[in-house]
Every structure is written in structure tokens, then in C-alpha cells.
């Protein structure tokens, strides 16, 4: 068994994939969750991530489930514990953008509800379930690894885009959720962190690539490049390795300096 077990939601692509592969290369076992994983598809999706991750000699457990489906949460936790015996790191990464970017004044309830259910309501209640398991582990006489929870929110929790306001509101709520869990879990020695990626090259941002290519070249970010899923993966690895154990509740931007106010 690997050095610790990481349960990662939204692990089939984008930032989740980057986190899973980064941790796998350093010896972490992975439970990767995706909404509709296809075992017959080993070229893309969750099973492609599994195949690549297991080249590092770790175990990768593919899990199927919609994070917005609260009834599936206990099963996902149980399947992970049945396989590995524990959950050491929870990475709340699963998230979606609006199906269509619309001005705030044109936002429709259906889009709002979909984004909230996946980006905020789902992770809020899923963390409840995972945290209960983590607390049991801490209750062992000699826990081999102190559990940690990582929320992948977004710089959009603080930086407004009026053409996807529901996304910004969901991420602002997720950031506050991280703070609440940091307080609630501190008595058990379980640290909680809020990672806030900026402009990151994923499927979600591919439709606006030209726009942000131009903005980055014009100085939107201090570091003049797109962020990558691997940038976020390295940050999660640092937290997993205990490099920020005296920083529970920390909000860490991974945005190339995007949010620094300038004149």
C-alpha cells in the first residue's frame, strides 16, 4: 500500500487528473471519482488516468458517482474504505462551469441550481461523510497519517466574472465551506486548506483560450503563462507531505499573481 490514500473528486480530467498523477508519482494510492467512468475507454477519462497512475506502482481505485447526488456519498466513502482501509486526503475538486456563459441579469435558475449542486452543495455534504471516517481514523491508538482535506475553489471566489456569476458565487461559498471545516476539524488534528487556481489550461477553459492568451500577454498575470493542472497538483502534494501543517485554514492562490492589485 502507498504512503497514504487520496480520494479525489473529478479525477478523470483537468485539474483532478493533474492532482491524481502528481500524487501517484510520489507513492500515494488514489481513489478517483468521476460521474460516468467507462472501463472500456482507456484512452481518455478515468481509466486512462488509472492506467497512467498505476505505472508508478500504486493502486488506483476508479469510483463512479455524481458528487451532486447526496445519496451516493456514503457508498463512495465505503468503497474507498473497503479497498484501502482508510481515507487520508480528501481533495474536493469536482466542479463545472455554466453550460452557457450569460450576463448576470440573464442567469437562469436551472443553470444556477446545476452549478450550486455540483460545486458547493455536493462537496459540502460529501466532506461531512469523509470527515466522519477521518475522525474514526484519528481515534485509533497510533494513526499512521493525520488526515487532511483540500478544497479546490477558485480565484473566482474573489474575482468577479459577471457572465458566469453563478460560478463565482459557488466558489465563494466553497471557500467559506473550507474555512468552516477548518474550524470544525481542528480539534481532531485534521487540517483543511483552500487552494484557489487562477487561469488554468483545462477542458473548461478551452473555449476562452484566445481571450485569455491575449489578456495574459497584456499583463493580466504577473507570471505570463497559463496555469497547469500540474501546478495545482504540486500544491496538493506539498500539503499532503505536511509542509503546511501549521497553516490549517490557509487560502493559497495558484494564479501567477493575478489577484495582486495594481495601478
Q: Is 144 contained in some domain?
A: yes
Q: How far separated are the first and last CA of the chain, in Å rounded?
A: 52
Whole-angstrom distance, CA of residue 12 vs CA of residue 49: 6
- CA dist 70 and 83 (Å) reads 21
Q: Would residue 71 count as lying in a domain?
A: yes
CB 7 within 8 A of CB 35: no
Q: Is residue 262 part of a domain?
A: no
236: closest CA among 256, 223, 250?
A: 250
Q: Is 261 part of any domain?
A: no
As given in the structure block, the three cell numbers for residue 206 are 478551452
Domain of 179, CATH number, reads 3.40.50.720
Task: Tell me, yes or no, whether 89 lies in a domain.
Answer: yes
pLDDT, position 1: 62
**Helix (H, G, I), strand (E, B), or coil: what is residue 62?**
strand
Q: DSSP state, 99? A: S
Q: Give the three cell numbers for residue 182.
A: 477548518
Distance in angstroms (rounded) separating the CA atoms of residues 98 and 13 = 17
Instruction: Please report whether residue 140 resides in a domain.
Output: yes
Q: Is residue 260 part of a domain?
A: no
Show the low-confidence residues of the chain (pLDDT under 50): none
pLDDT at residue 144 in the model? 83
Report the pLDDT value the prediction gives residue 204, as an integer from 0 to 100: 82
Count of the separate structural domains present in the chain: 1
- Domain contains 263: no
Portion of the chain with pLDDT greater than 70, in percent:
99
Return the pLDDT at 82: 98
The pTM score is 0.96
Model confidence pLDDT, tens digit, residues 121-165: 999 999 999 999 999 999 976 778 999 999 999 999 999 999 999
Supply the pLDDT for residue 131: 98
Residue 62 sits in which domain range? Answer: 5-254
Amino acid at each position: 500500500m502507498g504512503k497514504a490514500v487520496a480520494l479525489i473528486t473529478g479525477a478523470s480530467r483537468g485539474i483532478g487528473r493533474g492532482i491524481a498523477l502528481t500524487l501517484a508519482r510520489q507513492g500515494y494510492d488514489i481513489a478517483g471519482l468521476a460521474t460516468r467512468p467507462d472501463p472500456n475507454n482507456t484512452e481518455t477519462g478515468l481509466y486512462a488516468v488509472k492506467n497512467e497512475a498505476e505505472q508508478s506502482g500504486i493502486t488506483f481505485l476508479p469510483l463512479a458517482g455524481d458528487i451532486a447526488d447526496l445519496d451516493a456519498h456514503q457508498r463512495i466513502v465505503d468503497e474507498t474504505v473497503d479497498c484501502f482501509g482508510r481515507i487520508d486526503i480528501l481533495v474536493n475538486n469536482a466542479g463545472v462551469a455554466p453550460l452557457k456563459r450569460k450576463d448576470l441579469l440573464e442567469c437562469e435558475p436551472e443553470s444556477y441550481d446545476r452549478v450550486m449542486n455540483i460545486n458547493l452543495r455536493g462537496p459540502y455534504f460529501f466532506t461531512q461523510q469523509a470527515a466522519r471516517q477521518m475522525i474514526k481514523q484519528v481515534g485509533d491508538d497510533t494513526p499512521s497519517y493525520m488526515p487532511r482535506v483540500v478544497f479546490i475553489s477558485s480565484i473566482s471566489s474573489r474575482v468577479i466574472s459577471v457572465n458566469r456569476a453563478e460560478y463565482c458565487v459557488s466558489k465563494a461559498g466553497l471557500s467559506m465551506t473550507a474555512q468552516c471545516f477548518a474550524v470544525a476539524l481542528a480539534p481532531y488534528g485534521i487540517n483543511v486548506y483552500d487552494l484557489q487556481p487562477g487561469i488554468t489550461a483545462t477542458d473548461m477553459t478551452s473555449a476562452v483560450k484566445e481571450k485569455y492568451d491575449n489578456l495574459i500577454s497584456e499583463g493580466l498575470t504577473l507570471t505570463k503563462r497559463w496555469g497547469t493542472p500540474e501546478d495545482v497538483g504540486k500544491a496538493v502534494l506539498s500539503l499532503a507531505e505536511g509542509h503546511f501543517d501549521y497553516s490549517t485554514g490557509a487560502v493559497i492562490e495558484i494564479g501567477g499573481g493575478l489577484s495582486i492589485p495594481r495601478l
